[in-house]
Amino acid sequence: DLAIRFFRPTQGDLVAKRVARMPMGVLARRDLAHRKRRKPEAFDWISFEVPGVPMPDAAWLAAHVKVPPRMRTTSYLSQVEAVRAGLGVALLVRSLRRLDPELVELDLGLPPGPVLELWLVTPSNLRDVPRVAAVWDFLEARLGELGE
């Protein structure tokens, strides 16, 4: 009955509300960040890619990082876990640093990362159904905490 999306839906009779704007930055595990030089080429990069789908983070990497990724994944969770394991660095949502104090943002002299938007979506005929409205209100409040 409810969906969480990174893009605002453009088709269907849906109610959509942006609940968070999440700036991205280059994140690494703390110990890895201190061992390397501060140049993008000095790090192993972990990218998130979905074949055939233009992603803002993939476009940013292609434009600003001139070394190929060491690891490619189609899962944000796998990308985050690879960074947490110390396998490399990645362009990730900056608010992840609040969830894991071992993650730090690197200043590599690169332009700011893109900003991901998080959208809460439901069919318009369900928006005022009490059970849907209750979950909507809860998710709206909690997901809003992901923004910076």
Question: What is the per-residue pLDDT across 72-114, written as a single tens digit (0 to 9) for each?
Answer: 999 999 999 999 999 999 999 999 999 899 999 999 999 999 9
What pLDDT does residue 35 have? Answer: 67
What pLDDT does residue 36 have? Answer: 61
**Sign of torsion over alpha carbons 111, 72, 117, 98:** negative
Q: How far apart are CA 134 and CA 122, in angstroms?
A: 13
Contact yes or no for 83/46 (Cβ under 8 A): yes
> Is 134 strand, coil or helix?
helix
Confidence of residue 46 (pLDDT cuts 50, 70, 90): very high
For the chain, list the strands marked E by DSSP.
3-5, 14-29, 46-48, 71-73, 90-93, 103-105, 115-123
Average of per-residue pLDDT values in the chain: 91
**25-38 pLDDT tens trace:** 999 999 887 766 77
**108-143 pLDDT tens trace:** 999 999 999 999 999 999 999 999 999 999 999 999
Q: How far apart are CA 33 and CA 88, in angstroms?
A: 9
**49-74 pLDDT tens trace:** 888 888 888 899 999 998 999 999 99
Contact yes or no for 33/106 (Cβ under 8 A): yes
Distance, C-alpha 69 to centroid of its chain: 17
Q: How far apart are CA 109 and CA 12, in angstroms?
A: 42
Bridge partner residues of 103 (DSSP): 29
Distance, C-alpha 89 to centroid of its chain: 13
